[in-house]
Amino acid sequence: MAGQLGRLASPDEPAARLRETVLAFLAAGGSATRVAKELYVHHNTVSYRVKRAEELLGRRVTESPIELTCALTLAAALGSAVLSE
């Protein structure tokens, strides 16, 4: 899990918010506007969160999107059981 999520695997609230946003972004085919409507935030907020997540990952979220989507889905479903302390 840590191999895919890197520092996004942190159990804290800011990392959880980033994971949720990136998962929605990937599911929406990279549309910040659609994600913004879904999460009730401004599209600039989505863009900022995706950029911040990419900084923590050390790569673009669109690199290996299937693997990242799987890791984010597992983190959302299993929470602390798969996240690093």
Q: What is the pLDDT of residue 1?
A: 62
Q: In which band, very low, low, confident or very high, does the pLDDT at 4 lie, cut at 50, 70 and 90?
A: confident
Is the Cβ–Cβ distance between 11 and 84 less than 8 Å? yes
The domain ranges of the chain are 2-76
Note the pLDDT tens digit of each residue in 39-74: 999 999 999 999 999 999 999 999 989 999 999 999
Does residue 15 have a pLDDT over 80? yes
Phi, psi of 41 (to 5 degrees): -130, 170
Q: How far is CA 13 from the centre of its chain?
A: 12
CATH superfamily name and code, 2-76: PucR C-terminal helix-turn-helix domain (1.10.10.2840)
